[in-house]
Amino acid sequence: MQVLDEEPSCREGRERYNRKVVMIYFDRVSKVYADNSIALEDVSFSVEPGEFISIVGHSGAGKTTLVKMLLAEEKPTDGSVFFESINVHEVPLSRINHLRRKIGTVFQDFRLLPQKTAYENIAFAMEAAGRHEEEIHSDVPHVLDLVDLTDKANNFPDELSGGEQQRVAIARAIVNQPDVIIADEPTGNLDPVNTFEVVQILKKINDLGTTIILTTHNKGVIDSLKKRVITMDRGRIVRDDREGKYIL
């Protein structure tokens, strides 16, 4: 990417980003909304390729705003967000979708298309990305197998349990082979058994090399992962533990 004339602080952030191999870098990011409410305040952290990071905090701590910053759905009031050395908020609108295809997203409410089967929901994500029919026929069965839903390929969402719907959503998120998966409260609507299964699938995807960013309120999930935990409170990072637990 061509580096245009930048403010000194932006150049400094880019230089710090490039000093080590990192995939994502938040450089002193703040977000203040029109009503003067502070969503993020001076947030800085980096994510290395292949990491599994959990972001925790009470409602209103800033987790959702953080995710939206990475997806370029929100712009910072101050600071910069880098993804693979690119400042995501300098990307032209015409290229935003290209950036977002590198980031798969999984949400609490599944967001499946009710009139399409599990297979068709996943295939639709590939079609939207311009993938060829041969790739779809090859890759969709592969990801269904990865999330243990081969036998549910022809079921519609209302014929699946909540856990199965979330596994379809995960398969849809990974089918285009993104570099990062953002799982935003993916177990919020699930019972303990389905929560365990979804977390195991996320760990499996991470073991295959995909970076995972998980936001959750579930203490049991965090404590069982034994992975890096970033704790947020009122828009600030208050802890960053390499093998953390849920501490609030």
What is the Rg, in whole angstroms, of the alpha carbon atoms belonging to the chain? Answer: 18
* End-to-end CA gap in the chain: 40
Phi then psi for 204, rounded to 5 degrees?
-65, -45
Answer yes or no: are the C-beta atoms of 74 and 68 closer than 8 Å: yes
Cα-based distances in Å from 124 to 130, 173, 209: 10, 11, 24
Query: Cα 94–96–98 angle (5° rounding)?
Result: 95
pLDDT on residue 125 = 95
pLDDT on residue 217 = 84
Give the DSSP H or E segment for 44: strand 38-47
Torsion of CA 47, 6, 96, 26, to 10 degrees: 20
In sequence order, what DSSP letters do the residues of 121-132 get, joined into one string? HHHHHHHHTT--
CA quadruple 18, 22, 28, 34: dihedral sign: positive
Query: Cα 199–84–215 angle (5° rounding)?
Result: 25
pLDDT on residue 6 = 45
For the chain, which residues score pLDDT lower than 50?
1-9, 17-19
Q: How far apart are alpha carbons 23 and 103 in whole angstroms?
A: 12
